[in-house]
A and B are shown apart, each in its own frame.
Chain A
């Protein structure tokens, strides 16, 4: 089954403790991205990757890191989480290098709480 898989689905952590949210897709998509969803703000892009070893900042990159060593994986790293990073996170992938007319396929989300 074609899918984007995120882990974990739920995570509660303490301020300053490094964490990684994994994302993997099995559709051989070039383009992957991370979004955060906050009430009243919709989804906002954190980082994106056009292909292996190519990553760039989205609209809200502060406090986050990503890497793209393999085509299928795109982990999101929070080096020192803070309470304002409490949010619902989505990983997404798209074929065709992320052209404008292609749909994005989303993972099921990771609900992160930083206390």
Chain B
């Protein structure tokens, strides 16, 4: 079975500070991992994904994530937070069957203080 755990349901940072959103996964097969962002009253939008190859993945809006197999982690980072980054962030793993169903973590709401 596969699962995703996001540590911290709410994270608050100051504008310009480092953003770190934590995601740990469990998978018996090599995982395919995704980060999605949900802005208020909108659907989910893909930030970045890891399938194979380079373990440091760069996404949109200055975000990146590093796949660490030894730590079963896929943490999302951004060097300098912007007010527009305030949103809910979801980490997900896709299954090896059922057409690649996404299994989501609980979500982390990011607040950015001026």
Contact = CB atoms under 8 A, between A and B. Distances in A.
A55 to B, nearest CB: 11
A100 B106 contact: no
Contacts of B34: 103
B100 A99 contact: yes
B100 A45 contact: no
A31 B98 CA distance: 10
Contacts of A109: 41-43
A4 B98 CA distance: 21
A38 B48 CA distance: 23
Contact of B99 (A31, A40, A41, A43): A31
A48 B99 CA distance: 8
Contact of A41 (B32, B41, B100, B106): B106
Interface stretch (B65-73, B74-82, B88-96): B88-96
A4 B106 contact: no
Contacts of B44: 43, 90, 92, 104, 106
Interface of A: 4, 31, 33, 35, 40-45, 48, 50, 56, 58, 90, 92, 94, 97-104, 106-109
Interface of B: 4, 6, 9, 32, 34, 36, 41-46, 49, 51, 90, 92, 94-96, 98-102, 104-107
Given A90-B43, A98-B101, 8 more contacts: A43-B90, A48-B98, A56-B98, A99-B100, A101-B100, A103-B34, A107-B43, A109-B41
